[in-house]
Structure 1
């Protein structure tokens, strides 16, 4: 059993090595702040937006490679690896799930109660994991793989480190993540059980009825209209840092002196620009609805559907999970 678990963890680590560059480009593209109109500076003067304008997934992937190199493509690897390992071990030891038939994002087949327990645990774990992973991907600073405390000083504010539960109070983030998980697990998974059931024998594969599978695929595609905006909102809210007071907008400016000396990727590569532009922390989103409204007003409603085809492929691919 231990050997099987080790092999599964090794295969998951290998899959992360393949998928992390693409996941990082997805997160960056959805997090990039690209307002349509003119902005106001601190003195109320009108100034044009000067941040990067990147509208395509592969354009973002190429931009990351050009500015940050291979190291930049694998930002966020360690948080994702730790989250995957913890969820896998929890599913195996606590829910008695078979590790050989569990994907990274697939809840174990352990009944309704087991699925709900796993869902609750995954949401509790995923909150800090998502925040740390997304900030690791979008930060311009170089983060060492094996110095977690140093990296956390860069990614988290002193307030968040002193009171870790503050991460769960990030305005709108928990609610957005809960809605996304609830829809994916309760709605889509329930529909899948009726339309695309699996046989009791895992080695026998799937019993797929063409009409039912088509209906499920159509539902999954239409669900993109709900899931994609939630994913964009989760991304934007996750990188929004929590401070002791609104007037403090960086680690160096918060209550305690906590300046961290770290090299930026742009300095290392010789580039004079960051990969993405971020919204000013002095004007944060106040919640899920506020985020959706302001993204639509400032960046256009299309910004809520960045890389919508990825959400669609994940939904359709869940039929084979």
Structure 2
């Protein structure tokens, strides 16, 4: 049993660490999402009516360049777009972790042990978690890329800006966003089945040589996982519509009647941070998204901020090695 004082110290430390984590991670995540979502075709495009026009989004090629651009155009408020959905999702997942894993009791023994459910169990658990978290991820990405000012505590107003009337009437249509579920399941399948199998095979009997092999595999896997992350970002911000004249992701016929103010109205800049694909010309699925990104923006677009994915792979491999050493 814990005393009242010990509980207060634990929860105070937890709240402080979460606040510091959000203060650091939200601007960095925002820059990453914007960089990968930016639509910048390399050639002449056709509008939905078949007329040729030049659609050129901002040419930003680096992560830190995007970070500086966000601050220049939208200021500190722009850097912290997406804070509320990120904070809510973090709090919910933290409460779940404490309840499910009894983190305080485990911490008293010096470490927090993860649940070993096997490869299939890990995949199913991750798939269910992804399915539950997907709407939150969609709202977070859209709140980051929207040019409109969203109040921190104006939930209903923000939902009207971020979601189409169709999505508000039928929230489950978010799961039908063309290509999004397929992209996420592919990513989970690779990380939780392929990489997890190799991790167990190579790191169960830990040696520096085996760790080096596994680390190399994780790094090379970036060639596969980074394009999936870029595609997921582009697909998540693609809003779903339901008009009879077009397909299910095209523009609503009726105007939603929202009077929203853009960040650019409050600065000397007259441009948005990023360019977005026209909603009447959506990606129609996983393969269509991949092909059109390569054809319109170039294959390099699929590897935007690849080094962020690689850093995550290195951290994952190092943590796995430490975990297996701890169990040995």
User: What's the TM-score bracket when you normalise by the shorter of the two chains?
Assistant: 0.7 to 0.9
Deviates more, 1:179-188 or 1:209-218: 179-188
CA deviation after TM superposition for structure 1 residue 120, in Å:
3.2
CA distance in structure 2 between the partners assigned to 1:290 and 1:78 by the alignment: 32
In structure 2, the residue matched to 1:142 is 149
- The 3-state SS of whatever aligns with 2:117 is helix
From 258, 269, 278, give the equivalent of 1:280.
Answer: 278
From 236, 239, 244, give the equivalent of 2:237.
Answer: 239
* Contact 1:5–1:99 (CA under 8 A) maintained in structure 2: no
Q: Are 1:91 and 2:97 an aligned pair? A: yes
* Contact 1:158–1:256 (CA under 8 A) maintained in structure 2: no
In structure 2, the residue matched to 1:30 is 36
Q: For residues 192-217 of structure 1, give each alpha carbon's deviation from its aligned partner in whole angstroms, at most 9, with x where no partner exists.
A: 344345xxxxxxxxx96321221111
From 223, 227, 230, give the equivalent of 2:228.
Answer: 230
CA distance in structure 2 between the partners assigned to 1:83 and 1:184 by the alignment: 22
In structure 1, the residue matched to 2:117 is 112
Max radius of gyration: which structure? 2
CA distance in structure 1 between the partners assigned to 2:255 and 2:51 by the alignment: 31
Q: What pairs up with 1:124-273 in 2 under 5 angstroms?
A: 124-196=131-203, 209-245=207-243, 254=252, 258-273=256-271
Q: Are 1:81 and 2:92 an aligned pair? A: no
TM-score by length of 2: 0.85
In structure 2, the residue matched to 1:104 is none
CA distance in structure 1 between the partners assigned to 2:294 and 2:131 by the alignment: 29
* Contact 2:40–2:56 (CA under 8 A) maintained in structure 1: no
- Flag the 1:254–1:51 CA change in 2: closer, same or farther, 3 A: same
CA distance in structure 2 between the partners assigned to 1:98 and 1:191 by the alignment: 31
Deviates more, 1:253-262 or 1:133-142: 253-262
In structure 1, the residue matched to 2:57 is 51
CA deviation after TM superposition for structure 1 residue 254, in Å:
3.1
Give unpaired runs (5+ residues) of structure 2. Answer: 320-328
CA deviation after TM superposition for structure 1 residue 255, in Å:
5.5
How many aligned positions are there?
Answer: 304
CA distance in structure 2 between the partners assigned to 1:108 and 1:157 by the alignment: 42
CA distance in structure 1 between the partners assigned to 2:253 and 2:54 by the alignment: 32
- The 3-state SS of whatever aligns with 1:17 is helix
Give unpaired runs (5+ residues) of structure 1. Answer: 102-106, 198-206
CA distance in structure 2 between the partners assigned to 1:49 and 1:99 by the alignment: 56
CA deviation after TM superposition for structure 1 residue 91, in Å:
2.7
- The 3-state SS of whatever aligns with 1:192 is helix
CA deviation after TM superposition for structure 1 residue 95, in Å:
4.7
RMSD: 2.5
* Contact 1:160–1:242 (CA under 8 A) maintained in structure 2: yes
* Contact 2:231–2:289 (CA under 8 A) maintained in structure 1: yes
- The 3-state SS of whatever aligns with 2:292 is helix
